[in-house]
Structure 1
Amino acid sequence: MTSLNLTALTAILVLLAAASVALAPKVRTADGFFRGWTDTGEPPGVLTLTLSQVTTWIFARSLLNAGILGYFFGIAGVLAYTAYYGSFLTGWLITDRLRFRHGAPSVQAFLFQRFGRVGTWCFNLLISLRLLSEVFANLLVIGIVFSAAGEQLSTVAIIAVAGVTLAYSAFGGLRASLRTDALQMVLLAGALLLLLGLVLVHPQFSTTAVVVSSPEITSPGWILLAVALLQVLSYPLHDPVMMDRGFIADRRTTRRSFLHAFWLSSLCILAFGLLGVFAGLNAGGEGEFLKSLESLLGGSAMLVLAVALVLSAASTMDSVYSSTAKLAVVDMGLGRHSPGAGRLAMVLTALGGLVLVLVGTDDLFAAVAVSGTASLFLAPVIVFSILKGCEVARWSLLVAFALAMAGSGLYFLEDSGYIDWIGFLTGLEHSYSKLLVVTVAILAGGMAAFALGQRPAGKAASGGTA
């Protein structure tokens, strides 16, 4: 973003930071801090939950991913990334069954009941890594936005965004996140509509060209769509931000918020992905997405884009902080059930994310590329334990977990170029084709382990033993 007006961007972000801090309430009760309830014990309504769900799932990383996939792979890449937002539908189904069929107050409580401590240990390890990686990835996007200002100012911007979001999150926990998410979502939607409007009226825009931008069925974009459709069942369960919002309101409010979040977030991602398709069609698929878009739309549009990216980063990070606090204090019991203990967990998470960014890595996808693959061990849990209500042996979960961890590690090594085992065995070259092979193998192995590990009712592993 070489033509970005950094003075204007900084002024806008300072105003937004001040508004967020002003909106964030000072919460003193545990229910307000960890569950987002008001001082009178009222849970959030449909509108608040919907806007919060959408803005926390439209990460800064997600916007860039959608744009980059559209830039290189056309409409297929955009549809593939949008398919992951079907997680709102499967996420609603999961939380509804956990709460109203199994009576579980949380995912961890259900896993403890069915698989003992090993179930919660596997799950908590996965979501702890995801929460930390989200802080890292979104702060890294801040660095990309401010990269034109030089390394020192970029570092200052990263620390400032981390500090501001931490400050108002520590004030109000999940309740502050819900309130600021509403403001951030309205502004983010406005920015996306403005950018989409600039593209649609651009003389070089062609609807036909966009529609036929992925003509080959073997395009990596279509392959990634197949991967997304396979992962969309398990993906929401490993996202504590989404799951936390599925346990705080009544059944009707929760269902409506998830369904509205699905179509609204899908439209937002599609809109941003179209920016990538447009830029790719007019840049010949060469160069960088942001630079190509800048040459087409100009500096003013890139200012709007920068604001949208920072907004989405902030909205995700405050939710990550609140989910980390709940995970550490409520779900894992690592501290006293109080806002003070939750604030300490937030600080440690912020510091961990900053360390990952400041040690020197510049790979946006390094910490998050394998999360969907790692979450695949939860797919048989959803099918057999949550939906069908089967009793399954503990070893089945361990087999599925080991397969998912090994598969995600294998894909990371393949994608990073350290090894080429899958390519050697299958002849496949593109990383998404390899990811599809890994995904199918993990799902097949995990489902087989759960099918073999089914037990008669009443024979499940006791939750009180390790």
Structure 2
Amino acid sequence: MNSAQNAALWILAIAYMAIIWRIAPKGVSASGFFNGKHTNGQAPSFWLLVASAAISWIFAKSIINAANLANAFGFWGGVSYAVYYLSFIVAGIAFYLIRTRSQYTSLPAFLHGKYGQVGMRLFLIAVGIRLYNEIWSNTKVVGSFFGEEGGPAYWLAVLVFTIFTVIYTWRGGLRSSLLTDALQMCFAGLLLAITLFVISPPLLQEWPKSTPEMNSSALTFALLALLQIFSYPFHDPVMTDRAFITNPRTMLIGFILAGIISGAFIVLFSLVGVFATQQGYVGGNVTLSVSTALGLPMLLIFNVMMLTSAGSTLDSTFSSAGKLSVLDWSQQTTISQNTVGRAKWTIIGLAIIGNLPLLSIYLGDQLGPAIIAATTISGTMVMGLAPIILLSFLPTSPLNFHLAFWPGLLLGSLLAFVPSLFPAWVAIGSGKYALATGVNLYGIVLCTTGFLIASLNTHFKLSPLRAKADA
């Protein structure tokens, strides 16, 4: 990238940050910081909820993944990735039932009431690792559009982008995240429309030869995504926090609409991967390859799209981390400006340690990727959350949580670090995701079985007590 291109990228980035800065509130109440409420005490509006939920799930890394999968598997690769966005429907229905059948005001409070403090805190540790992982994985994408990984331009972009997002989230918490998300959703939609307008002519002309029919590898990935939507959304505080800030009916309709919007966005953007196949770009970050090949204007557009998607994810990550550390961990119900102050220190600390994995590029080809992998908690590791949340209407005790949570964590860890331990018969389907699909399918059965055994145990323990009480 020459100096003129780099200067243009920075000019556009500064303009983007100036607009976001103007939208972000300069100060909010404690309820605004943690619950996103307006200064008059009203809950966020329906469309604000929809826009924020949708854009917060259009991660920078998700955009890259969608394009790469379409590049590898054709159009159906992008569609398979969009299956993850059915998570909104699963989560929306689950949270609607939780909120209308109980008085819990957050998911951690629900888990505390159903499974005890230990189970709740294990869940929060898993969520904390997820939040930590969101930092470096999004700042890395942004930095890669400004310069080669490890170079001065790359590090400057990571530093500036992180500090800017920290400052406006530090000032307004969840309220800042919601308001800026709405603008970022508008930006993302406009930029997607421009991108599709540019790539559509050659894309449509070469469509038959560049987009093969759904193959077994794409079907395998679709099955993997379908299995994970029953657990994946529950360890994402971006989603779970927003599930409790409006009334249940507004939340349910908003989540369904947000899932449709964000899923459609992912499918449409994945066409960049199909276009990359036409142009002969295979493997790597095809989004960056396409944007560079299309010239400076498109490089600028793709860059702002990455800033938009990564920014919406990061500010949500920071605000959720502040709430987790101060309110959720101790189940504190009263909030004040002192509570906000403690949450702000969490935001600063997470911003620093969350970018440390980026330094692994200096540790060698083997050690670096190993450190990156160690910070990642995958959807496989939290598969046990499916029965923990979705079967919570059954008789429960802390044993339910442990018999569902630990098998998933063990299987997910083995899959991440020593996949060779699994025999060949575990794999289901074909391609690189076959083993993960098999582990998830058998793992969900194992976690659910453990949960049901614990429920039967609780039922038979309670039965004599109920009989004695009736007598």
Same fold (TM over 0.5): yes
Residue 140 of structure 1 contacts residue 362 of structure 1 at CA under 8 Å; is this kept in 2? Answer: no
Q: What residue is the counterpart of 1:52 in the other structure? A: 52
Encode CA deviations 1:160-180: one digit per residue, 9 max, x unaligned. Answer: 100000000011110011111
Report the alpha carbon displacement of residue 457 of structure 1 after superposing the two structures with TM: 9.3
Equivalent residue for 1:297? Answer: 294
What are the residue-to-residue correspondences of 1:122-271 with 2, within 5 Å? 122-148=122-148, 151-202=151-202, 205-209=205-209, 212-216=211-215, 218-219=216-217, 221-271=218-268
Distance 2:244 2:253 in 1: 13
| 1:464 alignment partner in structure 2 | none
Residues 26 and 381 from structure 1, CA distance in 2 versus in 1: closer, same or farther, beyond 3 angstroms?
same
Equivalence for 1:70: 70
The one-letter code of the counterpart of 2:407 is: L
- In the alignment, what sits opposite 1:378? 385
How far apart, in 1, do the equivalents of 2:380 and 2:95 lie? 21
Structure 1 residue 384 displacement after superposition = 1.5
Q: Distance in 2 between matches of 1:345 and 1:294?
A: 36
1:403 corresponds in structure 2 to 407
The one-letter code sitting in structure 2 at the alignment partner of 1:451 is L
Alpha-carbon spacing, 1:459–1:193, altered in 2? closer, same or farther (3 Å):
farther
Cα displacement (A) at 1:215: 4.3
TM-score of the aligned structures, taking structure 2 as reference length = 0.89
Aligned-partner Cα distance in 2 for 1:7–1:231? 42
2: CA distance, partners of 1:245 / 1:376: 21
Q: Secondary structure at the match of 1:456?
A: helix
**Residue 251 (structure 1) shift:** 2.4
Asked whether the 8 Å contact 2:427–2:437 carries over to 1, the reply is no
CA 1:286–1:129 in structure 2 vs 1: closer, same or farther (change >3 Å)?
A: closer
| Separation in structure 1 between the aligned mates of residue 149 and residue 442 of structure 2, nearest angstrom | 45
Give the direction of change, closer, same or farther, for the CA distance of 1:205–1:150 in structure 2 (3 Å limit): farther
Name the CA distance, whole Å, in 1 between partners of 2:357 and 2:41: 38
C-alpha displacement of 1:117? 1.2
Say if 1:84 and 1:232, in contact at 8 Å, map to a contact too: yes
Unaligned runs of 5+ in 2: 362-367, 464-471
Distance 2:371 2:60 in 1: 11
1: CA distance, partners of 2:178 / 2:83: 25
Specify the alignment match of 2:270 in structure 1: 273
Which residue does 1:320 correspond to in 2? 317
Is the Cα–Cα contact under 8 Å of residues 32 and 173 in structure 1 kept in the other structure?
Answer: yes
Residues 69 and 369 of structure 1: CA distance in aligned 2, closer, same or farther (over 3 Å):
farther
Please point out which of 456, 459, 464 is paired with 1:456: 459
By how many angstroms is 1:253 displaced? Answer: 2.1
Cα gap change, 1:40 to 1:297, in 2 (>3 Å): same
> One-letter code of the match for 2:459?
P
- Please list the CA deviations of residues 270-291 of structure 1 after superposition, one character each: whole Å capped at 9, or x if unmatched: 1111111221244274565135
User: Separation in 1 of the partners of 2:271 and 2:200?
Assistant: 10
Identity score, percent: 30
The answer for the alignment partner of 2:38 in structure 1 is 38
Name the residue aligned to 1:350. Answer: 351
Q: Residues 457 and 242 (structure 1 numbering): CA distance in 2 closer, same or farther, change over 3 Å? A: farther
Listed one character per residue, the Cα deviations across residues 235-256 of structure 1 (whole Å, up to 9, x for unaligned) are: 1111111111110112232122
Mapped to 2, the partners of 1:297 and 1:149 lie a distance apart of 21
Shift of 1:425: 5.5
Aligned partners of 1:215 and 1:51: how far apart in 2?
A: 31
Question: For the structure 1 residues 369 and 197, does the alpha-carbon distance in structure 2 shift closer, same or farther, using more than 3 Å as the test?
Answer: farther
- Map 1:322-341; keep pairs closer than 5 Å: 322-333=319-330, 337=335, 338-341=339-342
For 2:76 and 2:59, the matched residues in 1 are separated by: 20
Question: What CA distance in whole angstroms lies between the structure 2 residues aligned with 1:45 and 1:427?
Answer: 45
RMSD: 2.6
How far the C-alpha of 1:134 sits from its partner, in A, is 0.4
* Alignment: residue pair count: 450
Equivalent residue, structure 2, for 1:115: 115
- Alpha-carbon distance change, 191 to 112 in structure 1, aligned in 2, over 3 angstroms: same
CA contact (8 A) 1:111 1:120 kept: yes
- Matched position secondary structure for 1:375: coil
Contact 1:32/1:39, CA 8 A, preserved across alignment:
yes
Q: Tell me how far 1:334 sits from its aligned partner.
A: 8.9
The whole-number CA distance in structure 1 between the counterparts of 2:89 and 2:448 is: 21
Opposite residue 232 of structure 2, the aligned amino acid is: Y
Relative to the length of structure 1, the TM-score reads 0.90
Aligned-pair distance for 1:421?
A: 2.4
Q: Which amino acid aligns with 1:227?
A: L
**CA distance in 2 between partners of 1:436 and 1:459 (Å):** 37
Deviates more, 1:90-99 or 1:125-134: 90-99
* In structure 2, C-alpha distance between the alignment counterparts of 1:136 and 1:204, rounded to whole Å: 36
Over 3 Å counting, the alpha-carbon distance change for 1:96 and 1:266 in structure 2 is same
* Cα offset, 1:302, TM superposition: 2.1
> Aligned equivalents of 1:342 and 1:246: distance in 2?
20
Partner residue, 1:440: 441
Distance in 2 separating the partners of 1:191 and 1:154: 23
Q: Flag the 1:353–1:265 CA change in 2: closer, same or farther, 3 A.
A: same
- Is the 1:134–1:368 contact (alpha carbons within 8 Å) kept by the matching residues of 2? no
| Contact residue 184 and residue 312 of structure 2 kept, 8 A | yes
2:417 pairs, out of 397, 406, 413, with: 413
CA distance in 2, matches of 1:292, 1:141: 13
Q: 1:351 to 1:287 in 2, by over 3 A?
A: closer
Q: Which structure 1 segments of 5+ residues have no match?
A: 461-466
Q: Distance in 2 between matches of 1:160 and 1:113?
A: 42
Give the drift of 1:95: 1.5
- How much has 1:380 moved relative to structure 2? 0.8
Question: 2-side partners of 1:49 and 1:141: how far apart?
Answer: 26
- Structure 1, residues 65-117: CA drift from partner, whole Å, max 9, x if none? 10111111112321121000011111111221121112211111111111111
The 1:426/1:111 distance shift into structure 2, 3 A limit, reads closer
When residues 204 and 98 of structure 1 are mapped into structure 2, their CA distance, relative to the original with a 3 A threshold, is: closer
